[in-house]
Amino acid sequence: SQQGEEDPQALSIQEGENATMNCSYKTSINNLQWYRQNSGRGLVHLILIRSNEREKHSGRLRVTLDTSKKSSSLLITASRAADTASYFCATDEGNGNKLVFGAGTILRVKS
């Protein structure tokens, strides 16, 4: 079953603009993670947010989590062409075990 669903499926912005991607999930969770995948490559871990956290920052990344709405958002500020990639959220479905990934958001940053 698909736990995380990203929205939008695709996003195209100009360099310097902010990009916001959303993730919704179905079950309770212990943590939610965001990963990036450049074309034809493996995924790279970006950030993990615990279920008792509401916001977390890492460089130009800001992640929010609303457990009452079962949703998370990833904000990339001052985007760069190098941010062009697919972004995935992943959750553990509350069992602390395997991660379940969403289908991802394809971000294109135009220079």
Pairing of strands 31-37, 43-50: antiparallel
Q: How many residues bind another protein (CB under 8 A)?
A: 24
Using DSSP, state whether 83 is helix, strand or coil.
helix
Number of Cβ atoms within 10 Å of the Cβ of 52:
9
Of positions 20, 24, 31, 73, contacts another protein by CB under 8 A: 31
Q: Does 104 bind another protein (CB under 8 A)?
A: yes
Rounded to a whole number of angstroms, the minimum distance from the CB of residue 46 to another protein is 10
Position 98 contacts another protein (CB under 8 A): yes
2 versus 12: smaller Cβ distance to another protein: 2
User: Is 39 near another protein (CB under 8 A)?
Assistant: no
And the tokens for 25? 């999930």
CA gyration radius for the chain? 13
Contacting range for another protein; rule: CB under 8 A; set: 12-20, 53-61, 67-75, 93-101? 93-101
Longest dimension (CA), the chain: 42
